[in-house]
Amino acid sequence: MEKSPSELVALVDAPLDENNEVIFANPWEAKAFALVVQMHQEKRYTWTEWANQLSHEIKESNTLNEKEEDYYLLWLKAAEELVVTKGLCAKDELSSRKESLLHTQEALKETADRDRSTV
Do residues 101 and 78 both lie within one domain? no
Contact criterion met (CB below 8 Å) for 90 and 119:
no
Contact criterion met (CB below 8 Å) for 33 and 22:
yes
Do residues 27 and 44 both lie within one domain? yes
Do residues 46 and 9 both lie within one domain? yes
Contact criterion met (CB below 8 Å) for 54 and 15:
no
Convert the pLDDT of each residue in 25-72 to its tens digit: 888 888 888 999 999 999 999 999 999 999 898 888 875 555 555 788
Asked whether the predicted pLDDT for residue 87 surpasses 70, the reply is yes
pLDDT at 81: 94
Asked whether the predicted pLDDT for residue 78 surpasses 90, the reply is yes
**Residue span of the structural domain in which 28 resides:** 5-88
> DSSP letters along 33-83, please?
HHHHHHHHHTTSS-HHHHHHHHHHHHHHH---TT-HHHHHHHHHHHHHHHH
Do residues 62 and 101 both lie within one domain? no
Do residues 115 and 60 both lie within one domain? no
